[in-house]
Amino acid sequence: MLPTDTSFGIGFRRAGGTILALIVVLSLTAAACTSDNAGEKHEGSASKQVVLVTYESFALPEEAAAEFHRRTGATIKVIKSGDASAMLTKGLLSAGSPEGDVIFGVDNFLATRALSGDLLDSVKVPAAARISSDFKLGAGADDRLIPIDHGEVCMNIDPSWFTQKGIAPPSTLEDLAAPEYKGLTVISSPVTSTPGIAFLVGTVEVFGDDGWQDYWKALRANDVMVRPSWSDAYYTDYTVSGGDRPVVLSYASSPPAEVVFSEGKRTEPVSQVMTSSCVAQIEYAGLLKGAKNPELGAELIRFMIDSDWQRDLPLSNFVYPVTDVELPEEFVKWAPPVKSPLRVPAETVDSMRDEWIEGWRQVME
């Protein structure tokens, strides 16, 4: 569930230093090449292929994809279309005549847009009955958008910076607006970034309709920095990446990513997660109406909540599985699932998103 600037899926999800961004790019490029050419590895398999439409930063879980091929004889071709919002917009414009069979990466902030268009067919996924209702959309949507993973958008803190300065790190959203933390926080804009819209939604949930704009006025007075994207904030301004802001809007899975992508240079993460700030993000898969291979598409969706795929998600995309599979050691040690993230119904987000963003603009721009 990791993201995605406006890519939300994984934009970051994923690293803790400038060099790590390059590692992620290289790994994603390799994954894309492998998935697009997977048919070349298996004699006769090119004619049996399922096409997965997703966002640019998605990384195909390669071991799971190989198991899918072993079971079905089909390869997975991945088509990437910018960030999650751009991917969905493109899909809606071609509804009924899609470029693929399955769409993945629609999240709970975009779900109602996907459901309101003539985009998705129903698919039966019996195993989905075991997925927690926390991840489901309900209201007749559960057979069209199947939960696949979740991730939380959270403030990340550089505790070593605070130790060196002799200042206690912030622990609540209110702290970020306190005078002792003036000029220390950088976030991504809700206008151009899905972590940004998630954080905005979280502040509405915490401070209510009558108080959230006052909170943002306090943040502005406290010199909060707003960047266009997650990567701008994390890789330019965050102290872990050489910037001067020790508090950044990122993900619950940032700490293990800092270690995994460090090429052995780190044995412990640098960042800590402010769990009180975390906002739930769930990613879904759906069968595209008019798909050329609807049976294989349905089979892929069912496989995406199979234990093989779910086990591969944390270290391929730095998100959390929605099924009860064992987490890798890196997540157990450094990124256990957030127990009570802020949750806002998708219908509420859909009905209020534009109004919230316009209200935010009035305060911040």
Q: Are 272 and 262 in a shared domain?
A: yes
Phi, psi for 99 (deg, rounded to 5): -85, -5
Is the distance from CB of 121 to CB of 141 less than 8 angstroms? no
Which residue range is the domain that position 232 belongs to?
153-279+339-364
Residue 193 has pLDDT above 90, yes or no: no
Phi, psi for 181 (deg, rounded to 5): -115, 20
Assess if residue 8 is contained within a domain: no
Mean pLDDT of the region 170-191: 97
Q: Tell me, what's the pLDDT at 82? A: 81
Q: Tell me, what's the pLDDT at 117? A: 84
Structure tokens at 154: 């959270």
Assess if residue 235 is contained within a domain: yes
Assess if residue 79 is contained within a domain: yes
Residue 24 has pLDDT above 80, yes or no: no
Q: Label residue 50 exposed, middle or buried (CB < 10 Å: 0-12, 13-18, 19+).
A: buried
Q: Are 219 and 253 in a shared domain?
A: yes
* d(C-alpha 158, C-alpha 169), whole Å: 8
Q: Are 157 and 79 in a shared domain?
A: no
Give kind and range of the element (H or E) at residue 154.
Answer: strand 146-157
Altogether, the residues listed in the chain come to a count of: 365
* d(C-alpha 344, C-alpha 6), whole Å: 19
Q: Are 295 and 353 in a shared domain?
A: no
Q: Are 100 and 112 in a shared domain?
A: yes
Mean pLDDT of the region 10-18: 35
Q: Are 129 and 266 in a shared domain?
A: no
Q: Which pTM value belongs to this model? A: 0.83
Q: Are 296 and 352 in a shared domain?
A: no
Helix (H, G, I), strand (E, B) or coil at 54: strand
Is the distance from CB of 160 to CB of 195 less than 8 angstroms? no
Q: Which CATH number belongs to the domain containing residue 118 in this structure?
A: 3.40.190.10
Q: Are 133 and 75 in a shared domain?
A: yes
Q: Are 295 and 275 in a shared domain?
A: no
Q: Are 222 and 353 in a shared domain?
A: yes
Assess if residue 66 is contained within a domain: yes
* d(C-alpha 190, C-alpha 62), whole Å: 32
Q: What count of other Cβ atoms lies within 10 Å of the Cβ of residue 265?
A: 11
Q: Are 231 and 358 in a shared domain?
A: yes
Helix (H, G, I), strand (E, B) or coil at 158: coil
* d(C-alpha 13, C-alpha 32), whole Å: 17
Residue 5 has pLDDT above 80, yes or no: no
Is the distance from CB of 145 to CB of 111 less than 8 angstroms? yes
Assess if residue 7 is contained within a domain: no
Q: How many domains does the chain have?
A: 2
Q: Tell me, what's the pLDDT at 138? A: 82
CA-to-CA separations, 53 to 14, 76, 98, 361, in angstroms, rounded: 21, 10, 9, 32
Residue 112 has pLDDT above 50, yes or no: yes
Residue 101 has pLDDT above 70, yes or no: yes
The closest alpha carbon to 152, from 190, 195, 185, 188, belongs to: 195
Assess if residue 70 is contained within a domain: yes
Assess if residue 1 is contained within a domain: no
Q: Are 213 and 98 in a shared domain?
A: no
Structure tokens at 287: 């069968």
